[in-house]
A and B are shown apart, each in its own frame.
Chain A
Amino acid sequence: MILLPHLELALLIPLLGGALVLLFRNRPRLREASSLFAGILLFLYITQLLGQYHGPSPVHTLLNISASLSIAFQLEPLGLVFALLASGLWVFTTMYSIGYMNGNSEKNLTRFYLFFSVSIAATMGIAFAANLFTLFIFYEALTLSTYPLVTHKQTSEARSGGRVYLGLLLGTSIMFFLTALVITWIRAGTLDFMPGGVLEDNTQGLAAVLLFTLFMLGIGKAALLPFYRWLPAAMIAPTPVSALLHAVAVVKAGVFSVLKISVYTFGIDYLATQEASVWILWLAVATMVIASIIALSKDNLKARLAYSTISQLSYIVIGAALAWPAAAMGGALHIVTHAFGKITLFFCAGAIYTVTKYTRVSQLNGLGHKMPFTFAAFLLAAFSVIGLPPFIGSWSKWLLIEGSVDTQHYIVLFAFALSTLLNCAYLLPIGLRAFFKPPDPAQTITGSGIQEAPLACLIPLCATAAATLLLFFYIQPLYDFLYPVFNS
């Protein structure tokens, strides 16, 4: 494969995939194949980039607006890992979408696949952004391009959900993110991402605290209190959207931005010495615990998973806000580990819906014998999200807890422990009901024809579930790769 020297290809591939989708809008099979093809191509491209990676690449400017304002890309470990994750899981999701969307006879599939591709392109833009401005642009592009996916069903419920989605994400980003960006630009004179940050010489004390707080509140995609409502609202979307975008790409774009800004705009050491992240730390801790409790109270499966995601995103924000290398590393790894777990959970929720049309946890009793693979995968992923060894989620949790111990934030440590227990309480019963509770008599009659979901759904969810277990033993390369980001 011919490698173009610059990173734009990462954006072009999904966009071209989108164009092909449009082209083949009347030939469903070709349309879906082109979507899948673009996914695989993108994934291969990112792996090539990874294979050739030797330290951060020079900044590649795409568009110069002024001397210090440009749209530019750069290859660095954090972005590469995020891009690899999003593109890899895109392949699985595309495959899954084909099974799901057909299984549920959804309409407007051309639009669906098209905007899916555009969203991925925007995600790639975020992953490779070399400065805050680029990040911001693609961040907004991602919000806009996922909006049609959220409102896909075009019901009044979907539109109302969509408005909350758009209102919160755009609102916070314009009110806080943009403000923080402008302040940074004025103070530091640059928006570039630099190891160690750009604020050390020009911003101290309370100003640093306020600036960091503005940034974090502005990144609505990281779903901190009180601006996380867009995520449950987005659950109105078809499940593949929830799976990739609202468990991986969109939400992870948020926390990826959090990490990127913490590491490259502020710098871990700077955050620690200025104690700039203290407010956000407590906000994230509160979000983590409260969202877990709300999750426990939700009977709707996707709503429960959404609140679980909110809680897990706060883990990553805490990782950054602890301002400690091990914790930030834990946060970065958590982006990956949680992605595998949560996408599996959503895949399973979608598979259950496709087959049974059940949306509530309390309806799942006894289904395990009819859908053993789905529910087994669900349990494995749940174990990973809870952070139990030997599942991949345990490593990131380990580092996060190590970070809270090292920085002597014992309340944070306690909150992690509490959240872990709450995770058990709200995730496990979903899978366990299916296997270990007898089916309700009323449902045994209506549910006699229930069997496993179509293979196109089943294979991806089994694959990602297996990954939560297998990657436990292969975390080391990822750790080594990310190590220089946090330990300069």
Chain B
Amino acid sequence: MSSLNPALILVLGALPALVLKGHLRAAYVLLLPVLSFLQLYTLPAGIRAEFEILGMLLTTLHLDRLSFMFAVIFHIAAFLLILYSLHTRDRLQQMATLIYAGCAIGAVLAGDLITLFIYFEAAALSSVFLIWARRTPASYGAGMRYLIVQVISGLLLLTGIILHARSSGSIEFTQMDPGTPGGALIFLAFGIKCAFPLLHNWLVDAYPQATVTGAVVLSAFTTKMAVYALATAFAGTEILIWIGLLMTAFPIFYAVIENDLRRVLTYSMINQLGFMVVGVGIGTELALNGTAAHAFAHILYKALLFMSMGAVLLRTGRINGSELGGLYKSMPYTAGFCVIGAASISAFPLFSGFVTKSMIMEAAALEGYTLAWLVLLFASAGVFHHSGIKIPYFAFFAHDSGIRCKEAPASMLCAMAIAAVLCIYIGVFPQTLYALLPYQIGYQPYTLTHVITQLQLLFFSALAFTWLVRQGLYPPELRSVNLDADWFYRKPGRWLAEHAMQSIVAGEQKMGVWIKRLSFSAGTRLHRHHGPQGLLAKTWPTGSMVLWVAFLLGVYLIFYYVY
């Protein structure tokens, strides 16, 4: 028991969740993350568990400060997500959530690359059901594309691991050089999972197609596993700074013109991941602390935002900004929680984003990355603009769409309330979070300068929004699809693949006719040898011959033993 991997409690414990029913199941699925968390908490520091397979020694459990911190937030997330999902009768989703969360925890506790790979893949596999479970044609296709991209990432990771193991002689999961072939492939594999620019489309494509709970669950784990993996393997790799900056900057333009509010959140998620990636790229203790802290806070407020949008989707059946508005009248609590999530992601003082994002910006400034700092500042203003204002504004306020619906179910409200309280708690008492960070450093977010400058930035962004809306300059919400990098594989790529396949299939057909003619004549001739013409159609002649052969062989064998 002492070295039992908490991940296994969730993964294996998920199976009975499929057969249990009613309140018993609700209690059971809520208890699982708690049990698993207790197990994590009682694991002694520095513990390792090993397992030998195919001549390799795997370290299935490896606990350090960074992995502990990610495991903690993954547990909190798992509990909230399960709570949030209690309204659904779809047991598949809860099982997938538990397994997925378990795999995410297993991945951050993995001590070697192969264990990491296994958990990564298992996480991809369990999570895709959260997309398919929506059971629409669009979600079916999106889930398929999601899985394919995850499998590609897995194949890159696997090849990278093999190359890395050959050159370094070790499969330990630790700092790596992205300049070696193995390191580069692993870097790329993590990059896909982390939604690097041009590799990001699986996320934007798939998450908005997931179920109400599915999108929330998905938002918590995969990308943060990737952030953890990047922080462990590639801390201080300078190119990550520039990749991260691109991630913070380009999605916000899409977020402004996107109509599907959950898709707005996915673009905003890439923006937030960008901050973390920049932190990893800077690689100083402050920056890595910032990345870890921001990931922690991000999981909570992003889940909160997705939860509120999920509640809207559940109650109204709609999620496009062009069809919503005025919902604060019907769903006041949900609206309130959404505003708290929006304030947190925008980094208002007293909310969680304020005490975590600033660490990364401070680290960038201290290392003298002026341009990087300016881009991050731009992205900070931008994130307030599209996540902080746009989401609550178009869903709950703006023009009243006339929709009147019920408030979200109690279980959803509970989950949102807890997430909201945590967002504020972290914002007000940041030291609780800081105590969990990988490095012990004194960082004080609440300085006069920081508070005032941040408020200036945010309120003037709000001013810009107000001004643009009142001037009629703000782009209206329109039903549309915005082309993104997935166009390349969904249009020309698809066309190419289909045509290549058609010609191969046609070629094989031709070959088949030829081969069939050849074999047919051979087969017919064989028939003639074995039986009279008239009996050609019957199957017995050949059969009886075989029978005779077998019989003779049997007789011979018996003779042999009897002498």
Contact = CB atoms under 8 A, between A and B. Distances in A.
A and B found bound together: yes
Interface stretch (A338-346, A398-406, A454-462): A398-406
Interface residues of A, number: 74
A476 B54 contact: yes
B543 A230 contact: no
Interface stretch (B306-314, B376-384, B517-525): B517-525
Contact of B550 (A18, A159, A386, A395): A18
A432 interface: yes
Given A162-B539, A163-B519, A428-B147, A436 B550 contact: no
A105 B504 CA distance: 39
Contacts of B545: 144
Interface in A137-172: 141, 144-145, 147-148, 151-152, 154, 159-160, 162-168, 170-171
A8 B560 contact: yes
Nearest to B511: A226
B409 interface: no
Given A141-B549, A420-B155, A402 B523 contact: no
A424 B150 CA distance: 11
Interface string A365-403: 000000000000000000100101110001100110110
B132 interface: yes
Interface string B539-550: 110110111011
Contact of B526 (A11, A148, A166, A229): A166
B35 interface: no
A194 to B, nearest CB: 25
A33 interface: no
Interface stretch (B67-75, B158-166, B331-339, B399-407): B158-166
A15 B556 CA distance: 12
A100 B554 CA distance: 29
Nearest to A154: B539
Given A115-B543, A226-B511, A479 B54 contact: yes
A445 interface: no
A347 B512 CA distance: 27
Contacts of A28: none
**SS of A interface (majority):** helix
Interface stretch (B117-125, B245-253, B470-478): B117-125
Nearest to A476: B53
Secondary structure dominating the interface of B? helix
B55 interface: yes
A398 B155 CA distance: 10
Contact of B54 (A293, A390, A398, A428): A398
Contact of B501 (A226, A293, A438): A293
Contacts of A230: 519
A353 B162 CA distance: 42
B516 interface: yes
Interface in B454-479: none
A145 B546 CA distance: 6
B133 interface: yes
B505 A401 contact: no
A163 B118 contact: no
A326 B27 CA distance: 48
Contacts of A229: 512, 515-516, 519
Interface in B110-159: 117-118, 121-122, 125, 132-133, 135, 137, 139-140, 143-144, 147-148, 151-152, 154-155, 158-159
Contacts of A226: 511, 515
Interface string B69-111: 0000000000000000000000000000000000000000000
A159 B166 contact: no
Given A15-B554, A294-B508, A436 B132 contact: yes
A118 interface: yes
B537 interface: yes
Contacts of B125: 383, 388
B513 to A, nearest CB: 10
Contacts of A425: 144, 148
Q: A145, A160, A296 — which one has the most chain B CB atoms within 10 A of its CB? A: A145
B533 to A, nearest CB: 14
A164 B550 contact: no
Residue in A147, A386, A399, A429 whose Cβ sees the most chain B Cβ within 10 Å: A147
B519 A413 contact: no
Nearest to A115: B543
B192 to A, nearest CB: 14
A115 B557 CA distance: 19
B315 interface: no
Interface residues of B, number: 63
A417 B147 CA distance: 14
Given A151-B539, A420-B151, A476-B52, A297 B547 contact: no
Contacts of A159: 537, 539
A272 interface: no
A92 to B, nearest CB: 23
A148 B166 CA distance: 51
B9 to A, nearest CB: 16
Interface string A113-148: 011001001000000000000000000010011011
Nearest to A333: B54
Interface in A345-368: none
Contacts of A3: none
B148 A424 contact: yes
A62 interface: yes
A388 B151 CA distance: 8
A147 B542 contact: yes
A227 interface: yes
Contacts of A63: 556
A428 B511 CA distance: 28
A12 interface: yes
A145 B226 CA distance: 54
A363 B539 CA distance: 33
Contacts of A290: 504, 508
A139 to B, nearest CB: 13
B549 to A, nearest CB: 6
A435 interface: yes
Nearest to B522: A167
Interface in B26-68: 52-55
B485 interface: no
Given A118-B547, A229-B519, A435-B132, A297 B526 contact: no
A163 B517 CA distance: 10
Contact of A111 (B158, B516, B522, B543): B543
Given A147-B539, A170-B523, 10 more contacts: A11-B557, A147-B542, A154-B539, A167-B521, A171-B518, A229-B519, A386-B151, A389-B118, A405-B163, A424-B144
Closest 7 CB pairs of A and B: A167-B523, A167-B519, A163-B523, A167-B522, A148-B543, A389-B118, A168-B519
27 contacts: A8-B557, A144-B546, A147-B539, A151-B539, A159-B539, A164-B519, A164-B520, A165-B523, A166-B522, A167-B521, A168-B522, A229-B512, A229-B515, A229-B516, A233-B516, A388-B122, A389-B121, A401-B158, A401-B159, A405-B159, A406-B162, A417-B155, A421-B151, A432-B140, A435-B132, A436-B140, A476-B52
